[in-house]
Amino acid sequence: MKLKSFTFAGLLFSAACLAHAAPQALGSSHALVIEEGTGKILLEKSPDAVVPIASLTKLMTAMVVLDAKPDMEERVRIEKDDVDTLKHSASRVPVGATIPKKDLLLMALMSSENRAAASLARTYPGGMPAFMAAVQAKIKALGLTNTVIEEPTGLSPNNRSNAVDLAKMAEAATKYPDIVRITTDSAERVQINGRELQYHNSNRLVGRKGWDIGLSKTGFTNEAGNCLIMRINAAGKAAILVLLDAKANSARLFDAMSIRRLLSGEKEERVASHGGGRHRHHHTTSA
101 is catalytic: no
Q: Of residues 55, 119, 186, 286, which has the active-site annotation?
A: 55
pTM for the model stands at 0.86
CATH number of 8-277: 3.40.710.10
Could you read off the pLDDT of 201-218 as tens digits, one per residue?
999 999 999 999 999 999
Please tell me which residue in 40, 58, 138, 168 is annotated as part of the active site. Answer: 58
> Nearest Cα to 55, choosing from 161, 165, 150, 155?
155
8 A C-beta contact, residue 223 and residue 134: no
60-96 pLDDT per residue, tens: 999 999 999 999 999 999 999 999 999 999 999 999 9
pLDDT tens string 132-183: 999 999 999 999 999 999 999 999 999 999 999 999 999 999 999 999 999 9
89 is catalytic: no
Half-sphere exposure of 148 (CA within 13 A, CB side): 9
> Cβ distance 215 to 230 under 8 Å?
yes
Beta-strand pair 41-45/51-52:
unpaired
User: In this model, does residue 282 exceed pLDDT 70?
Assistant: no
55 is catalytic: yes
The catalytic residue among 89, 112, 119, 186 is: 112
Q: Could you give the 3-state DSSP secondary structure of residue 267?
A: coil
